[in-house]
């Protein structure tokens, strides 16, 4: 897992890992009322499925433990 300070730097890191290191990446934005999936037109089907699965897992975990959403938009 890589945590980045903002969307722009996360985009740069993800693209470098994807195109130069041939890595697969799953994207999820936290801090809203529900997880937001970020995909790119260049993402593989596998990356899109993993991003969706990650969002479902986080949504279920936050349903069971609402403190995970602490600080989310009101």
Q: Tell me how far apart the terminal alpha carbons of the chain are, to the nearest angstrom.
A: 27
CB distance 50 to 58 below 8 Å: no
Confirm whether 36 is domain-assigned: yes
In a domain, 11, yes or no: no
Residue pLDDT tens, the chain, 74 long: 788 898 899 889 888 988 899 888 887 887 777 778 878 787 889 989 999 998 999 889 888 988 877 755 44
pLDDT given at position 9: 92
* 61 domain residue, yes or no: yes
Structural domain range at position 35:
24-74
Looking at residue 39, what is its pLDDT? 81
d(CA 44, CA 35): 20
Number of domains into which the chain is organized: 1
Whether residue 13 lies inside any domain: the answer is: no
pTM of model > 0.85: no
Assign 3-class secondary structure to 19-72: HHCCCCCCCEECCCCCCEECCCCCCCHHHHHHHHHHHHHHHHHHHHCHHHHCCC
């Amino acid at each position: 897992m890589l945590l980045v300070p903002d969307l722009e730097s996360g985009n740069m890191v993800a693209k470098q890992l994807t195109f130069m290191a041939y890595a697969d990446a799953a994207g999820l934005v936290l801090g809203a009322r529900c997880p937001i999936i970020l995909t790119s037109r260049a993402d593989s089907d596998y990356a899109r499925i993993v991003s969706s699965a990650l969002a479902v897992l986080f949504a279920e975990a936050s349903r069971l433990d609402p403190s995970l959403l602490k600080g989310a938009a009101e």
